[in-house]
């Protein structure tokens, strides 16, 4: 990989303005301008993602609202005004689609996703949509493979005419029975379905074993597809970032774990991110740290220190990133007070940054 590309830390975002329509037809936005910056080069596209935030706990809850977050128009503006360039929108399609072939996705739900994409675009934010929390495919991959491909067939067709500020991420955190070996097969098949309608769309592919760095070496990225970004999630040390997390059994015992930024704590992060960097260099692929964050049960000063350090080390290596997440349990934004948690926000977007 060209080192200049990797160390190229100036993020440029030039998005065309679009006129939106609510039509749920082929194209959800109606832009007559031929965007001169549309460049499918994945390294350029990775700069377009730049600094992002996950709109977590909304569309990937069993039903939007079940986990306390209903997306609102103003969130997109808040995010843009705070200095972010992109939003990752996790989506649980599997709860809104027929169980049997042809696995039709609910039109109402599709309209809701259209709406979210339009809000992102209207605010000059790139949008990443994925398949999130498809838990059934993790348990019984072969039973759900056709359905997963059927979902992508519909999603890819729906958005095939959208500008390149819309990114597709094939599957969040493959795990359990969807082993690294099986994932290498399923990702190729998912990509083939997407490429039938989206030849140059930037597609994001993550690692197996819950999206961690450790599985990068097992990931086989299709060599003949130039329009790919690779993603990993970063939550190390897990006992710090997930202390008290209700969905992680045993994590109560980790409460009180701090991250003070000792030399060895920092070195551990640096070592991890160096591994990712060398993988990216050897494989000539841009990297997106698609989730990182520390849960609210950790002390705020530790969370801020960790977030600032991880974010800045990612920046140094030219990774794009998306903080997990906007306004829920890891939230950089406080929905009750209606304001940003300033220290966390500044750890992500330093005040002096452009
Ligand atoms: C999961 C969330 C979880 C987060 C941190 C995400 O990938 O979808 O439910 O809160 O990781 O554990």
Which residue from 169, 171, 233, 324 has its CB within 8 A of the most atoms of ligand 1, so it is best to mutate?
324
Strand residues in 197-286 grouped as ranges (E):
203-206, 228-234
Residues with CB under 6 A from ligand 1: 132, 172-173, 291, 324
Spatial separation of the C-alpha atoms in residues 88 and 56, rounded to whole Å: 8
Among 288, 294, 345, which Cα is nearest to 353's?
345
The reply to whether 21 falls in a domain is: no
The reply to whether 166 falls in a domain is: yes
CATH number at residue 170: 3.20.20.80
DSSP state of 337: T
Spatial separation of the C-alpha atoms in residues 179 and 24, rounded to whole Å: 36
Determine which residue's CA is closest to atom 8 belonging to ligand 1: 133
Query: For residue 10, what pLDDT is reported?
Result: 33
Show the tokens assigned to 222: 């299709």
Spatial separation of the C-alpha atoms in residues 274 and 78, rounded to whole Å: 33
The reply to whether 132 falls in a domain is: yes
Q: What is the pLDDT of residues 161-220, one digit of tens each?
A: 999 999 999 999 999 999 999 999 999 999 999 999 999 999 999 999 999 999 999 999
Q: What is the pLDDT of residues 42-58, one digit of tens each?
A: 999 999 999 999 999 99
Q: Which domain holds residue 73?
A: 5-9+37-348
Is 347 within 8 Å of 82 (Cβ atoms)?
A: no
The reply to whether 18 falls in a domain is: no
Say yes or no to pLDDT of 315 above 70: yes
The reply to whether 19 falls in a domain is: no
Question: At 53, which helix (H) or strand (E)?
Answer: strand 51-54
Would you name the residues annotated as active-site residues? 173, 291
The reply to whether 27 falls in a domain is: no
Determine which residue's CA is closest to atom 1 belonging to ligand 1: 133
Say yes or no to pLDDT of 5 above 70: no
The reply to whether 25 falls in a domain is: no
Q: Across the strands, what pairs with 230?
A: 205, 287
Determine which residue's CA is closest to atom 4 belonging to ligand 1: 324
Ligand 1 atom at shortest distance from the alpha carbon of 90: 8
């Amino acid at each position: 990989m060209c080192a200049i590309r990797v160390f190229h830390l100036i993020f440029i975002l030039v998005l065309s303005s679009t006129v939106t329509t609510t039509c749920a037809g082929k194209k959800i936005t109606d832009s007559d301008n031929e965007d001169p910056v549309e460049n499918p080069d994945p390294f350029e596209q990775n700069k377009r993602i730049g600094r992002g935030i996950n709109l977590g706990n909304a569309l990937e809850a069993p039903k939007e609202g079940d986990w306390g977050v209903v997306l609102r128009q103003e969130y997109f503006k808040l995010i843009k005004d705070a200095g972010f360039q992109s939003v990752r929108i996790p989506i649980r399609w599997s709860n809104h689609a027929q169980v049997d072939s042809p696995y039709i996705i609910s039109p109402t739900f599709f309209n809701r996703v259209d709406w979210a994409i339009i809000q992102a675009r209207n605010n000059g934010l790139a949008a990443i949509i994925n398949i999130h929390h498809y838990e059934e495919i993790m348990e019984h991959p072969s039973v759900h493979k056709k359905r997963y491909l059927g979902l992508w067939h519909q999603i890819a067709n729906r958005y095939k005419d959208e500008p390149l500020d819309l990114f597709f991420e094939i599957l969040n955190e493959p795990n359990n029975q969807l082993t690294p070996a099986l994932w290498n097969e399923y990702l190729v098949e998912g990509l083939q379905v997407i490429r039938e309608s989206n030849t140059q769309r930037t597609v994001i592919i993550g690692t197996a074993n819950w999206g961690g760095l450790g599985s990068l070496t097992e990931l086989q990225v299709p060599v003949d597809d130039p329009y790919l970004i690779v993603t990993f999630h970063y939550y190390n040390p897990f006992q710090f970032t997930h202390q008290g997390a209700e969905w992680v059994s045993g994590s109560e015992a980790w409460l009180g774990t701090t991250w003070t930024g000792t030399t060895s704590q920092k070195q551990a992060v640096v070592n991890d991110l160096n591994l990712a960097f060398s993988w990216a260099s050897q494989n000539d692929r841009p990297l997106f740290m698609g989730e990182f964050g520390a849960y609210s049960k950790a002390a705020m000063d530790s969370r801020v220190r960790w977030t600032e350090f991880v974010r800045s080390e990612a920046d140094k290596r030219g990774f794009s990133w998306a903080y997990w997440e906007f306004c829920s349990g890891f939230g950089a934004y406080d929905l009750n007070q209606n304001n940003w948690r300033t220290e966390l926000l500044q750890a992500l977007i330093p005040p002096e940054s452009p």
